[in-house]
Amino acid sequence: MTASPATDAAASLFASFIANGLRDVVISPGSRSQALALAATHFARQDAVRVHVRIDERVAGFTALGIAREQRLPVAVVCTSGTAAANLLPAAMEAFHAGVPLLLLTADRPPELRGVGANQATVQPGLFDPFARWSVDAPVPGDDAGFDWTDLGAQAVAVALGASTDAPRASATVPASALHGVAGPVHLNLPAREPLSAALPASVTARPGPGAAAVEVEPPMRIEQGPRTVVIAGADAGPDAEEVAHAGSWPLIAEIVSGARYGRNLVHGYRELLRDPALGGRIQRAIVFGHPTLSREVTALLRRADVETIAVRGGGEALDLNGRTAAAASVVVAGPDTDRSWLDAWRAASAAASVDLSEPAPDAAGLLSADSGARRDAVRAELASVRRPLDRELLADAVWRATWPHDRLVFGSSRLVRVADAVLPGKKVTVHANRGLAGIDGTIATATGIAIASQAAGAPGVTRVLLGDLTLLHDVGALLLPPGEPEPRLQVIVGNDGGGTIFDSLEVASEAPGEDLDRAFYTPHTVRLEQLALAYGWEYLRVTTRAALDQALTAPPGGRQLIEVPLPR
């Protein structure tokens, strides 16, 4: 095809990816990866794949993660050798624990340049082994007689979606923890020799395919009625949790990041009710969807030896906190409910525990009253409502109320997500969060990827990100977007309390000396977010009242907005 075996191999590999359903590639620039990058951009010009470029590999990894989260299809991320590959590790770890399909394509030096002090050469084969569903150290193009690059691409896509591999080829590894039927990252380490690239002729084409076939898993586990049961929806649970709770007439304990926080069986104020001996203390069985991470009460329940626990697989690691949890690919409720007293008790307690943060309706009669005193009091009350300062609860409530099914909502791993989980009511919206490992890494990059995927082909909606100031600063490089790429509708809402006040709720807040606590945990800062936003080309707004925030969130959507909400320490 060309004068570069590396280019020929890259073209065959990407054509195979595309034929098996790949739609997006995220590239970080580099020398050793040039054949991979040029193959991707070649097929992008043919509209066979979308290419996104990020200069920072960690940002690239999480951008790919965000696209894959939304699409539930593998996304490829390409980088050069050396430390570039290591920067993909945080996204690979999150993808493994959250069950998100990724293709990690790391360019490498050929074997003769490994371990001899060559520039940008390190130990890359197996770099992601604990977290990759499949790792392959591919042959050097030109030394690959009989090697099938098309087959490698097809297998990589299938394994990323949860399929088991064939008998591992030479130099391939499969971690023992890789669960059949669960999506996750695949690592292809791709060495090459000079010439590292050559132009691909226009005759080299790729044909988009329908995607890999669904992975076959075991039949659903039948859940019989009888024991006092609750359904728990953690991160990435999705609508299946609500459907099972409805079918079984069981209480639904749904974290705000679950995507299942809606329906008639939803439990409000679940933390307090789980501590109640008359409710939480009487639970006999828990059916778990997703990965619960937001409350100690749920963790304590799942550790109880007297509770039968069934966990529906979703991430790369089995959930088994009590040492006797049964795993299931899916569940189905057997038979109608015969005793609704259990659900009725939870519903009554839930209604009493619900929180209403909405503003009272204006006093229309007072505003129109002929009595000047009554009219003055009504005006004062209305002005007080408009000028009401924001706190964390009102901030979370405003973002939740502004978000609808065609939108996307992303929570950072900040104090705000726990506040939101404690006070927000039910609503059927698509929610994302990196709760596989609950780190603050890559939140803006992930949200950008979600926005790109959810708004593809002109789809409506806004992606909103609710996060704290340290989570923003941890991923500030993700604010950079190349000028040639479409600008997503993205609102980043930052609750800025000047440091990491999430530590207020941990033991260290009462144990550590004040000076040490401030320096090593709260990490206060004086970053001017307005200047940061302007430097990266974002529109900036600073709001301090609920009325102003509501107006900002519901204005006609534009491009990228950073909305700063100052909060008290």
Using CA atoms of 391, 475, 404, 461 in order, give the dihedral in degrees to the nearest 10: 140
User: Can you give 109-174 as a three-state secondary structure string?
Assistant: CCHHHCCCCCCCCCCCCCCCCCCCCEEEECCCCCCCCCCCHHHHHHHHHHHHCCCCCCCCCCCEEC
- What is the rounded average pLDDT of the residues 138-162? 93
Weakest mean pLDDT among 181-190, 454-463, 529-538, 551-560: 551-560
Q: How far apart are CA 190 and CA 105, in angstroms?
A: 7
Residue 327: which of 466, 221, 245 has the closest Cα?
Answer: 221
pLDDT (0 to 100) of residue 376: 76
- Report residue 118: phi and psi, to 5°: -70, 155
Query: Phi and psi dihedrals of 179, rounded to 5?
Result: -90, 130
- 506 pLDDT band, cuts 50/70/90, is low
* Closest of 484, 446, 482, 483 to residue 463, by C-alpha: 446
pLDDT of 181 reads: 85
pLDDT, residue 507, reads 66
**pLDDT tier for residue 172 given thresholds of 50, 70 and 90:** low
Q: What is the rounded CA–CA span in Å between residue 137 and residue 146?
A: 16
**What pLDDT, on a 0 to 100 scale, did the predictor assign at position 167?**
46
Give the separation between CA 473 and CA 287, rounded to whole angstroms.
37
List Cβ<8 Å contacts ≥24 apart for 159-166. Answer: 159/133, 159/134, 159/186, 160/74, 160/101, 160/102, 160/103, 160/133, 160/184, 160/185, 160/186, 161/73, 161/74, 161/101, 161/212, 161/215, 162/101, 162/133, 162/215, 162/217, 163/212, 163/215, 165/134
Interval 312-344: pLDDT, tens:
988 888 899 999 999 999 999 998 777 789 999
Q: What integer pLDDT is reported at residue 385 of this predicted model?
A: 66
Per-residue pLDDT averaged across 148-167, rounded? 88
Choice between 174 and 494, residue whose per-residue pLDDT is larger: 494
Percentage above 70 pLDDT, the chain:
91
Average pLDDT over residues 498-518: 69
Per residue in 183-212, pLDDT (tens digit) is 999 999 999 999 998 999 999 999 999 876
Q: What is the pTM of this model?
A: 0.93
Question: Which parts of 312-414 fold into alpha helices (H)?
Answer: 341-353, 364-367, 372-386, 392-402
- State phi, psi for 383 to the nearest 5 degrees: -65, -40
Give the residue carrying structure tokens 């992930």.
Answer: 446
What type of residue sits at position 143?
D
Backbone angles phi, psi at 232, to 5 degrees: -110, 125
Question: Is residue 361 pLDDT above 70, yes or no?
Answer: no
Please state, as a whole number, how many other Cβ atoms lie within 10 Å of the Cβ of residue 407: 18
pLDDT of 371 reads 81
Beta bridge partners of 355: none
The pLDDT value recorded for residue 500 is 65
**pLDDT of amino acid 368:** 73
Main-chain phi, psi angles of 186, to 5 degrees: -125, 135
Burial of residue 364 (number of CB atoms within 10 Å: 0-12, 13-18, 19+): exposed
Q: What distances in angstroms separate CA 521 from CA 82, 550, 553, one per listed residue?
A: 32, 32, 31
Least confident of 217-231, 445-459, 461-475: 217-231
pLDDT at 569: 78
169 pLDDT above the threshold of 60: no
The rounded mean pLDDT for the chain is 91
Q: Which domains does the chain have, with CATH numbers?
A: 5-191 (3.40.50.970), 221-353 (3.40.50.1220), 357-386 (no CATH), 388-566 (3.40.50.970)
Taking 90 as the threshold, does the pLDDT of residue 520 lie above it? Answer: no
Q: Given pLDDT bands bounded at 50, 70 and 90, which one contains residue 452?
A: very high
- What's the DSSP call for residue 545? B
Mean pLDDT within 498-515: 68
pLDDT exceeds cutoff 70 at 466: yes
Token pair in block for residue 81: 């050798």
Three-state SS string across 486-542, please? CCCCEEEEEEECCCCHHHHHCCHHHHCCHHHHHHHHHCCCCCCHHHHHHHCCCEEEE
User: pLDDT by residue (tens digit) across 248-290?
Assistant: 999 999 999 999 999 999 999 999 999 999 999 999 999 999 9
- 488 Cβ partners below 8 Å, 6+ apart? 448, 451, 452, 455, 463, 559, 560
Run of H or E including 86 = helix 83-86
pLDDT at 540 over 80: yes
